[in-house]
Amino acid sequence: MGDMGEKDLMEDAPGAGPGTAPEPRWLGDDEQRVWRAYLHATTLLEDHLDRQLQRDAGMPHVYYGLLVQLSQAPRRRLRMTELAKSAKITRSRLSHAVARLEKNGWVRREDCPSDKRGQFAQLTDEGVEVLRRTAPGHVAAVRQAMFDRLSPEQVTQLGVIMRVMAEGLEPAGPDADLPWLR
């Protein structure tokens, strides 16, 4: 949480001489306040949703997101790697997660015929049922935390801002896998 207050610790070398590490560009007071508000709000919301879903659906938010992704995919299934990408998690993490969801009976694994290394994760009927049962509560929680409290303009602004930030963080940016082209 309250990050970036490091300035206090670093009131040294104001007139950085030659051969000195460049004085980092600290955050101004305003920026610091924004950054703290950001951390504060995002952690509170994530915690809130995690608890809400753990209580009502018996799984953390990330797992819920996986089921949602599957529910929207053709035939309710996705290759593991696709699912991992769209959920922004590592394949390793996904493996564990799917194993758990499979135990719950909400997801089933299927071999990919065209690529013997491949696996599909498919949402089961029970998985669909869990979503049907718990989605309303989840939507309500999101609405209550975000959309019911922000003006339409603010919602728009938030959307723009988040897209800008995401762009800058996209796994090493556009052409990440083609560094030799830059």
- Which ranges constitute the DSSP H helices of the chain? 29-57, 61-72, 80-87, 91-103, 125-142, 152-169
| Host H or E run for residue 42 | helix 29-57
Q: Among residues 13, 16, 20, 34, which is the contact residue for a copy of itself, using CB under 8 A?
A: 34
Decide: is 120 part of the binding site for a copy of itself (CB under 8 A). no
Residue with smaller CB distance to a copy of itself, 99 or 147: 147
* Residue spans of beta strands (DSSP E) within the chain: 77-79, 107-111, 119-123
141 binds, options DNA, a copy of itself, none, Cβ within 5 to 8 A by partner type: none
CA dist 119 and 99 (Å) reads: 12
Decide: is 109 part of the binding site for DNA (CB under 7 A). yes
Residue with smaller CB distance to DNA, 32 or 104: 104
166 binds, options DNA, a copy of itself, none, Cβ within 5 to 8 A by partner type: a copy of itself
Decide: is 8 part of the binding site for a copy of itself (CB under 8 A). yes
Cβ-based neighbours of 1, under 8 Å, separated by 6 or more: 36, 39, 40, 43
Decide: is 151 part of the binding site for DNA (CB under 7 A). no
Torsion sign across C-alpha atoms 102, 106, 110, 115: negative
Residue with smaller CB distance to a copy of itself, 9 or 181: 9
Decide: is 50 part of the binding site for DNA (CB under 7 A). yes
Contact (CB, 8 A) for 76 and 128: yes
Contact positions toward DNA, by CB under 7 A?
47, 50-51, 54, 59-60, 62-63, 79-82, 89-100, 109, 112, 115-120
